[in-house]
Amino acid sequence: MTRYQVRHKTVYRYLYPVPDSLHLLHLRPRETPQQAVAKATIKVSPEPAAWLRRDDAFGNAIDWISLADQHETLIVEAAAEVARDAGGSTGAGQNTSHGWEQVRERLRDGRADGAAEAIPYLFDSPMISFQSDLAAYALESFTPKRRVAEAAVDLMRRIHKDFRYVTGVTDVSTPVDKVFALRAGVCQDLAHVGVAAVRAIGLAARYVSGYLLTFPPPGQEKLLGADASHAWFSVWCPEAGWIDLDPTNDLVPKDQHITLAWGRDYSDVAPITGMIVGGGDHVIEVGVDVVPM
């Protein structure tokens, strides 16, 4: 197991005072078969008037906070200690899964072991809807009787090859069809393409948010706050479970990927969302540190 300290600091600076606000946080890493969370804390300034912690419909730990004191700056600092297994996804072995058509049929009739867990990830979601061109794109990898894991890894590699990683051409609201047309975007966009392509052919796929350990260029020190929030996608098949795939980096996530939350798409797991009264324009500063212990 590889142990990490993770720190995620977000600062909102508002143009005008905010007298009242409500926020939803997805900032506590998940417990998974490959990941153990020793500690997770969140600090908020100004102090919330109310704070509710619970799990959402997908099993993610969430925090609802309400602020009643007027403020022009909001600071949210999350910290966690996480141990990550180097083995990666339980279903990453390409010989452990069924032919994809068989899996699709078993999902349709609900006969597969674990199908109930996968069914919510079969359908359209707020940011992902069926696209025939994405189905055609997926079928270039999901050829007849090909095993799910093998085909999914091939799809991941094609997305990595066919799409350019470019900042500034998309934002958190960009729909997947526009990303597919642009053939460009950031990790969130590439994960959405993977999810949409897999769902378009009748299989289950989910969006995963988390963190990625990064390394500085040779001869340079690692800068504080230089690590990154990250996103990838997972594909489901019976017995093998969920297969994690990172199209941004063309790899099956292992011990350098820390899982924060998963859902149908980004809208289910955004780190911080909410509503504010007033405030006008605002700027956001985000710093992430992933430090091996």
pLDDT at residue 46, rounded to an integer: 96
Average pLDDT along the chain:
92
Give the per-residue pLDDT at 250.
95
Structural domains of the chain, with CATH? 2-85+270-292 (2.60.40.2250), 100-269 (3.10.620.30)
Strand 184-185 and strand 164-165: the pairing is parallel
pLDDT in tens, 153-211: 999 999 999 999 999 999 999 999 999 999 999 999 999 999 999 999 999 999 999 99
Per-run averaged pLDDT (10 residues), the chain, 293 residues: 95 95 98 96 97 97 97 97 79 63 88 82 94 95 96 98 95 93 96 98 97 79 69 91 95 93 98 93 93 90
Q: Specify the pLDDT at position 208.
A: 98
The CB-side HSE value for 161 (13 A sphere, CA atoms) comes to 6
pLDDT computed for residue 204 by the predictor: 97
Q: What is the pLDDT of residue 95?
A: 53
CA-closest candidate to residue 290, choices 242, 228, 203, 200:
228
For residue 24, the model assigns a pLDDT of: 98
The verdict on pTM exceeding 0.75 is: yes
